[in-house]
Amino acid sequence: MNIAVSRIEGFAQPGGTLSSAVHKLNLQQISNLNGVKRRLTKNSILLHEEDEIKHVYEVVSGTVKALKFLADGRRQIIGFFGAGDIIGLPLETSAFYSIQAVKNTVVLCYPISQLDAAMGHSSALTKFIFGLVHSELERHLDHMISLGRKRPKERMAAFLLTYYKKQLVTGVTDMVIELPMSRVDIADYLGLTQETVCRVLGHFKRNNLIAAKNSHEIKILDLPHLEYIAQSGVLH
């Protein structure tokens, strides 16, 4: 098994709605296992697509990206995982994608064998894992409809909102979101080119939907409008 899951807020949280309360659950607490700390420098690779999966990872700080390659070098980024997110699932098999550090990152490594055993004893842990799968699956479906049917502006708006909501859940009410990844990474996540990403962001800026302190810090000025674009994408 090999999946990556974002931090979950409560079990089996339906829809993309925001959780009212933050469950400060992490793998360490719920599994009673001690993850081994590992430091990753920017761009270093935690896992290759062909590798055998031996660990589940929990991001402590920093950000990593999960990505797949085509033969000619084209990339599709499956997801970004920041502090609190968990990557991988306790069932042995080869990897589906590579994992690479977006910037200097610290992760905790849990051997799959240990987690597997722990799941046998703890139904709470099993439920927790299923909850993670649930979140990740929902994320995949949203990503698919983005890639298949949304226009660049809608994809970008949805992307920004995802980050906004993610940090809302952690209690940060600031309208400034941090995008640690490069424009190329965003492009490879959204199925666009870096130029298109820039132009869409430029468009949002000119229309006062967002403002940019620098290229990695975006302030959301018009949340409702962005949500409108993200969902139906009528405006241009």
96 touching its own copies, by CB under 8 A: yes
Give the Å distances, CA to CA, from 14 to 8, 95, 138: 11, 27, 9
Residue matched to tokens 């842990």: 125
Pick the closer one to its own copies by CB: 60 or 128.
128
215 touching DNA, by CB under 7 A: yes
State which of positions 147-206 bind its own copies (CB under 8 A): 147-150, 188, 190-191
Contact track, its own copies, 41-80, x by CB under 8 A: ---------------------------x-xxx-xxx-x--
Structure tokens belonging to residue 224: 């409702």
How many angstroms separate the CA atoms of 119 and 128, rounded?
10
Burial 156-169 (b: 16+ CB within 10 A, else e): bbbbbbbbbebbbb
Contact between 163 and 46 under an 8 Å Cβ cutoff? The reply is no
Neighbours of 37 (CB within 10 A): 10
75 touching DNA, by CB under 7 A: no
22 interface partner picked from DNA, its own copies, none, CB below 5 to 8 A per type: none
Among 139, 193, 207, 223, binds DNA (CB under 7 A): 193
Give the nearest distance from C-beta 87 to DNA in angstroms: 22
Contact between 65 and 102 under an 8 Å Cβ cutoff? The reply is yes
Backbone angles phi, psi at 25, to 5 degrees: -80, 140
How many angstroms separate the CA atoms of 139 and 190, rounded?
13
198 touching DNA, by CB under 7 A: yes
220 touching DNA, by CB under 7 A: no
| Binding residues with DNA: total (CB under 7 A) | 21
Give the Å distances, CA to CA, from 230 to 47, 48, 177, 224, 236: 32, 33, 17, 10, 11
Pick the closer one to its own copies by CB: 123 or 214.
123
Stretch that binds its own copies, among 31-39, 105-113, 136-144, 212-220 (CB under 8 A): 136-144
232 touching its own copies, by CB under 8 A: yes
Backbone angles phi, psi at 53, to 5 degrees: -85, 125
Pick the closer one to its own copies by CB: 107 or 112.
112
State the residues that interact with its own copies by CB under 8 A.
1-3, 12, 14-15, 68, 70-72, 74-76, 78, 91-94, 96-97, 120, 123, 130, 133-134, 136-138, 140-141, 143-145, 147-150, 188, 190-191, 231-234
